[in-house]
Amino acid sequence: MLVSPLSPPVSAQLLLSFDFDGTLHDPASVPAIDPDFFCLIEELRKTHGAIWGINTGRSMHHFAHGLVEGKFPFAPDYAVVCEREIYVSKPDGHFVAEKSWNQRCARDIDEIFAKAKKVMQKIREHIGHHTGAHWMEEDDGSIGIIARTTEEMDWIVTEVKKLTINHPLLGWQRSTIYLRFGHKDYQKGSALAEVARLHQLSSELVFAIGDSHNDLEMLDHNVAQKIACPANAVSDVIEHIRRQNGYVCRRTHSQGVIEALEHFFA
Ligand SMILES: [Mg+2]
Protein backbone atom coordinates (compact mmCIF):
# COMPACT_ATOMS: atom_id res chain seq x y z
CA MET A 1 0.00 0.00 0.00
CA LEU A 2 1.28 3.49 -0.88
CA VAL A 3 1.83 6.11 1.80
CA SER A 4 1.54 9.82 0.99
CA PRO A 5 4.19 12.39 1.84
CA LEU A 6 3.55 15.10 4.44
CA SER A 7 1.92 18.21 2.99
CA PRO A 8 4.66 20.44 1.57
CA PRO A 9 6.14 23.23 3.71
CA VAL A 10 5.19 26.84 2.95
CA SER A 11 8.82 27.35 1.97
CA ALA A 12 11.59 24.74 2.08
CA GLN A 13 14.34 25.91 4.43
CA LEU A 14 16.18 22.71 5.23
CA LEU A 15 17.08 19.56 3.30
CA LEU A 16 17.68 16.25 5.09
CA SER A 17 19.33 13.20 3.51
CA PHE A 18 19.37 9.77 5.18
CA ASP A 19 21.19 6.65 4.07
CA PHE A 20 18.88 3.66 4.54
CA ASP A 21 20.65 0.35 5.25
CA GLY A 22 22.88 0.50 8.32
CA THR A 23 21.88 4.09 9.08
CA LEU A 24 18.13 4.56 9.36
CA HIS A 25 17.26 0.89 9.05
CA ASP A 26 18.55 -1.88 11.29
CA PRO A 27 17.07 -5.28 10.39
CA ALA A 28 18.17 -6.66 13.78
CA SER A 29 15.99 -4.14 15.70
CA VAL A 30 12.25 -4.38 16.28
CA PRO A 31 10.96 -2.10 14.88
CA ALA A 32 13.75 -1.64 12.30
CA ILE A 33 13.32 2.17 12.51
CA ASP A 34 12.58 3.90 15.84
CA PRO A 35 9.06 5.46 15.44
CA ASP A 36 10.36 8.59 17.24
CA PHE A 37 12.34 9.31 14.05
CA PHE A 38 9.12 9.97 12.13
CA CYS A 39 7.73 12.19 14.95
CA LEU A 40 10.92 14.25 14.76
CA ILE A 41 10.61 14.59 10.96
CA GLU A 42 7.04 15.87 11.36
CA GLU A 43 8.30 18.34 13.96
CA LEU A 44 11.14 19.55 11.69
CA ARG A 45 8.65 19.99 8.86
CA LYS A 46 6.70 22.40 11.07
CA THR A 47 9.61 24.20 12.77
CA HIS A 48 12.24 24.25 9.97
CA GLY A 49 10.30 23.71 6.72
CA ALA A 50 12.33 20.51 6.30
CA ILE A 51 12.29 18.48 3.08
CA TRP A 52 13.57 14.93 3.69
CA GLY A 53 14.62 11.95 1.64
CA ILE A 54 16.28 8.57 1.56
CA ASN A 55 19.63 8.41 -0.27
CA THR A 56 20.37 4.75 -0.87
CA GLY A 57 22.21 2.16 -2.92
CA ARG A 58 18.95 0.19 -3.16
CA SER A 59 17.10 -0.03 -6.48
CA MET A 60 13.67 1.67 -6.69
CA HIS A 61 11.94 -1.70 -6.27
CA HIS A 62 14.04 -2.62 -3.22
CA PHE A 63 13.60 0.88 -1.78
CA ALA A 64 9.78 0.62 -2.09
CA HIS A 65 9.99 -2.66 -0.18
CA GLY A 66 12.02 -0.86 2.50
CA LEU A 67 9.25 1.72 2.99
CA VAL A 68 6.79 -1.06 3.83
CA GLU A 69 9.22 -3.07 5.95
CA GLY A 70 10.37 0.09 7.78
CA LYS A 71 6.69 0.94 8.53
CA PHE A 72 6.96 4.49 7.13
CA PRO A 73 3.78 6.36 8.24
CA PHE A 74 4.37 8.86 5.39
CA ALA A 75 6.60 8.86 2.32
CA PRO A 76 9.88 10.76 2.03
CA ASP A 77 9.73 13.83 -0.23
CA TYR A 78 12.39 12.41 -2.50
CA ALA A 79 14.52 9.31 -2.96
CA VAL A 80 17.96 8.84 -4.47
CA VAL A 81 18.25 5.17 -5.52
CA CYS A 82 21.18 3.14 -6.92
CA GLU A 83 23.28 5.93 -5.36
CA ARG A 84 22.48 8.23 -8.30
CA GLU A 85 18.90 8.32 -9.66
CA ILE A 86 16.52 10.96 -8.28
CA TYR A 87 12.79 10.37 -7.71
CA VAL A 88 10.27 12.79 -6.21
CA SER A 89 7.14 11.67 -4.33
CA LYS A 90 3.75 12.86 -5.51
CA PRO A 91 0.78 13.52 -3.18
CA ASP A 92 -0.67 10.04 -3.93
CA GLY A 93 2.58 8.37 -2.79
CA HIS A 94 3.92 7.50 -6.25
CA PHE A 95 7.55 8.33 -6.98
CA VAL A 96 8.27 10.07 -10.26
CA ALA A 97 11.67 10.18 -11.95
CA GLU A 98 13.53 13.49 -12.09
CA LYS A 99 13.86 13.01 -15.81
CA SER A 100 16.53 15.42 -16.95
CA TRP A 101 18.99 14.30 -14.23
CA ASN A 102 18.26 10.56 -14.58
CA GLN A 103 18.51 10.66 -18.39
CA ARG A 104 21.79 12.57 -18.28
CA CYS A 105 23.10 10.12 -15.69
CA ALA A 106 22.12 7.05 -17.78
CA ARG A 107 23.62 8.54 -20.95
CA ASP A 108 26.93 9.47 -19.30
CA ILE A 109 27.22 6.04 -17.68
CA ASP A 110 26.58 4.27 -21.01
CA GLU A 111 29.26 6.44 -22.56
CA ILE A 112 31.87 5.78 -19.86
CA PHE A 113 31.14 2.02 -19.86
CA ALA A 114 31.66 1.94 -23.63
CA LYS A 115 34.96 3.80 -23.31
CA ALA A 116 36.16 1.65 -20.40
CA LYS A 117 35.03 -1.67 -21.85
CA LYS A 118 38.53 -3.15 -22.05
CA VAL A 119 39.59 -2.15 -18.58
CA MET A 120 36.34 -3.45 -17.10
CA GLN A 121 36.96 -6.79 -18.81
CA LYS A 122 40.45 -6.76 -17.31
CA ILE A 123 39.04 -6.10 -13.82
CA ARG A 124 36.58 -8.95 -14.31
CA GLU A 125 39.34 -11.39 -15.24
CA HIS A 126 41.64 -10.20 -12.44
CA ILE A 127 38.89 -10.58 -9.81
CA GLY A 128 37.97 -13.98 -11.27
CA HIS A 129 41.55 -15.24 -10.97
CA HIS A 130 42.30 -13.94 -7.49
CA THR A 131 39.02 -13.92 -5.54
CA GLY A 132 35.72 -15.75 -5.08
CA ALA A 133 33.76 -12.58 -5.79
CA HIS A 134 30.85 -12.53 -8.26
CA TRP A 135 30.73 -10.23 -11.28
CA MET A 136 27.16 -8.95 -11.77
CA GLU A 137 25.64 -7.56 -14.97
CA GLU A 138 21.95 -6.68 -14.66
CA ASP A 139 19.34 -6.30 -17.42
CA ASP A 140 19.14 -2.57 -16.67
CA GLY A 141 22.81 -2.21 -17.66
CA SER A 142 24.22 -1.91 -14.14
CA ILE A 143 27.55 -3.64 -13.52
CA GLY A 144 28.95 -4.56 -10.13
CA ILE A 145 30.85 -6.98 -7.93
CA ILE A 146 29.74 -8.90 -4.84
CA ALA A 147 32.63 -10.09 -2.65
CA ARG A 148 32.46 -12.87 -0.05
CA THR A 149 33.80 -10.69 2.77
CA THR A 150 34.51 -7.01 3.44
CA GLU A 151 38.25 -7.87 3.53
CA GLU A 152 37.96 -9.32 0.04
CA MET A 153 36.17 -6.15 -1.10
CA ASP A 154 38.94 -4.01 0.50
CA TRP A 155 41.44 -5.85 -1.73
CA ILE A 156 39.20 -5.54 -4.81
CA VAL A 157 38.86 -1.76 -4.32
CA THR A 158 42.66 -1.40 -4.14
CA GLU A 159 43.00 -3.33 -7.41
CA VAL A 160 40.17 -1.40 -9.12
CA LYS A 161 41.91 1.87 -8.17
CA LYS A 162 45.17 0.69 -9.79
CA LEU A 163 43.54 -0.69 -12.94
CA THR A 164 41.35 2.38 -13.61
CA ILE A 165 44.07 5.00 -13.17
CA ASN A 166 43.74 6.07 -16.83
CA HIS A 167 39.94 6.30 -16.64
CA PRO A 168 39.36 9.20 -14.23
CA LEU A 169 35.62 9.39 -14.99
CA LEU A 170 34.92 5.72 -14.37
CA GLY A 171 33.47 5.67 -10.86
CA TRP A 172 32.33 3.04 -8.41
CA GLN A 173 30.41 2.97 -5.18
CA ARG A 174 31.27 0.53 -2.46
CA SER A 175 29.14 -0.50 0.52
CA THR A 176 30.36 -3.43 2.64
CA ILE A 177 30.73 -6.39 0.20
CA TYR A 178 29.00 -4.64 -2.73
CA LEU A 179 30.50 -2.49 -5.47
CA ARG A 180 28.60 -0.80 -8.29
CA PHE A 181 30.39 0.79 -11.27
CA GLY A 182 29.23 4.14 -12.58
CA HIS A 183 30.36 7.62 -13.53
CA LYS A 184 32.37 9.77 -11.07
CA ASP A 185 29.92 12.66 -11.55
CA TYR A 186 26.89 10.69 -10.35
CA GLN A 187 26.81 9.53 -6.74
CA LYS A 188 24.91 10.24 -3.52
CA GLY A 189 26.69 13.60 -3.16
CA SER A 190 26.01 15.04 -6.61
CA ALA A 191 22.42 13.71 -6.51
CA LEU A 192 21.83 15.41 -3.15
CA ALA A 193 23.37 18.65 -4.49
CA GLU A 194 20.92 18.44 -7.41
CA VAL A 195 17.95 18.02 -5.04
CA ALA A 196 19.24 21.06 -3.09
CA ARG A 197 19.54 23.02 -6.35
CA LEU A 198 15.95 22.15 -7.29
CA HIS A 199 14.81 23.54 -3.91
CA GLN A 200 17.21 26.50 -4.16
CA LEU A 201 18.89 25.56 -0.88
CA SER A 202 22.60 26.19 -0.25
CA SER A 203 24.87 23.61 1.43
CA GLU A 204 24.55 25.35 4.84
CA LEU A 205 20.91 24.24 4.81
CA VAL A 206 21.66 20.59 4.02
CA PHE A 207 22.09 17.73 6.52
CA ALA A 208 23.33 14.24 5.60
CA ILE A 209 23.99 11.10 7.62
CA GLY A 210 25.43 7.75 6.49
CA ASP A 211 27.45 4.78 7.69
CA SER A 212 29.40 3.44 4.72
CA HIS A 213 31.88 4.23 1.92
CA ASN A 214 29.12 4.99 -0.58
CA ASP A 215 28.01 7.86 1.70
CA LEU A 216 31.33 9.73 1.63
CA GLU A 217 30.42 11.98 -1.32
CA MET A 218 27.28 13.27 0.42
CA LEU A 219 29.17 13.65 3.72
CA ASP A 220 31.07 16.53 2.17
CA HIS A 221 30.88 20.19 3.11
CA ASN A 222 30.43 21.25 -0.52
CA VAL A 223 27.18 19.28 -0.49
CA ALA A 224 26.03 19.30 3.15
CA GLN A 225 27.48 21.46 5.91
CA LYS A 226 25.75 19.46 8.64
CA ILE A 227 27.11 15.92 8.48
CA ALA A 228 26.96 12.96 10.83
CA CYS A 229 27.38 9.20 11.11
CA PRO A 230 25.80 6.67 13.48
CA ALA A 231 28.08 4.94 16.03
CA ASN A 232 28.00 1.75 13.91
CA ALA A 233 29.52 3.48 10.82
CA VAL A 234 32.62 1.87 9.24
CA SER A 235 35.89 3.26 10.64
CA ASP A 236 36.77 5.17 7.43
CA VAL A 237 33.48 7.10 7.69
CA ILE A 238 33.92 7.82 11.42
CA GLU A 239 37.44 9.18 10.73
CA HIS A 240 36.14 11.23 7.80
CA ILE A 241 33.35 12.79 9.91
CA ARG A 242 35.85 13.61 12.70
CA ARG A 243 38.27 15.26 10.23
CA GLN A 244 35.42 17.37 8.79
CA ASN A 245 34.23 18.43 12.29
CA GLY A 246 30.95 16.60 11.75
CA TYR A 247 28.98 14.77 14.43
CA VAL A 248 29.81 11.16 15.36
CA CYS A 249 26.80 9.75 17.23
CA ARG A 250 27.07 7.77 20.45
CA ARG A 251 24.05 5.70 19.46
CA THR A 252 23.60 3.37 16.49
CA HIS A 253 21.19 3.28 13.51
CA SER A 254 17.92 5.27 13.77
CA GLN A 255 18.62 6.19 17.41
CA GLY A 256 21.87 7.71 16.19
CA VAL A 257 19.93 9.56 13.47
CA ILE A 258 17.59 11.03 16.11
CA GLU A 259 20.61 12.00 18.21
CA ALA A 260 22.25 13.77 15.25
CA LEU A 261 19.05 15.65 14.32
CA GLU A 262 18.65 16.78 17.94
CA HIS A 263 22.32 17.84 17.99
CA PHE A 264 21.93 20.09 14.93
CA PHE A 265 18.31 21.24 15.20
CA ALA A 266 17.28 21.11 18.88
MG1 LIG B 1 24.48 2.22 4.62
Instruction: Mark which of 168, 183, 198 sits at the end of a domain.
Output: 183
Q: Peptide bond preceding 8: is omega within 30 degrees of 0, i.e. cis?
A: no
Domain co-membership, 24 together with 149: no
- Ligand 1 centroid to 22 CA: how many Å? 4
Domain co-membership, 79 together with 29: yes
Question: Is the sign of the CA dihedral 61, 62, 67, 68 positive or negative?
Answer: positive
Q: How many CA atoms lie within 13 A of 85 on its CB side?
A: 20
* CATH code of the domain containing 38: 3.40.50.1000
| pTM of this structure | 0.95
- Ligand 1 centroid to 141 CA: how many Å? 23
How far CA 123 is from CA of 15, 99, 130, 139, in Å, comes to 38, 32, 11, 20
Q: How many domains does the chain have?
A: 2
pLDDT tens by residue, 188-242: 999 999 999 999 999 999 999 999 999 999 999 999 999 999 999 999 999 999 9
Domain co-membership, 92 together with 214: yes
Name the burial class of residue 38, with classes exposed (0-12), middle (13-18) and buried (19+) by CB atoms within 10 angstroms of its CB: middle
Any domain includes 58: yes
Question: Mean pLDDT throughout 135-144?
Answer: 90
**E strands present in the chain:** 14-18, 50-55, 78-81, 85-89, 95-97, 134-137, 143-146, 170-175, 178-183, 206-209, 226-229, 247-248
Name the burial class of residue 108, with classes exposed (0-12), middle (13-18) and buried (19+) by CB atoms within 10 angstroms of its CB: middle
Task: Kindly indicate the confidence band of residue 259, based on its pLDDT and cuts at 50, 70 and 90.
Answer: very high
Task: Kindly indicate the confidence band of residue 244, based on its pLDDT and cuts at 50, 70 and 90.
Answer: very high
- Ligand 1 centroid to 214 CA: how many Å? 7
Give the residue numbers spanning the domain of 198. 14-98+186-265
178 CB neighbour count, 10 Å cutoff: 17
- Ligand 1 centroid to 49 CA: how many Å? 26
pLDDT tens by residue, 87-123: 999 999 999 999 999 999 999 999 999 999 999 999 9
- Ligand 1 centroid to 118 CA: how many Å? 31
Domain co-membership, 192 together with 255: yes
Any domain includes 165: yes
Any domain includes 249: yes
- Ligand 1 centroid to 121 CA: how many Å? 28
- Ligand 1 centroid to 45 CA: how many Å? 24
Q: Over 80: is that where the pLDDT of 73 sits?
A: yes
Mean residue pLDDT of the chain comes to 96
Instruction: Mark which of 162, 183, 204 sits at the end of a domain.
Output: 183
Q: Over 80: is that where the pLDDT of 55 sits?
A: yes
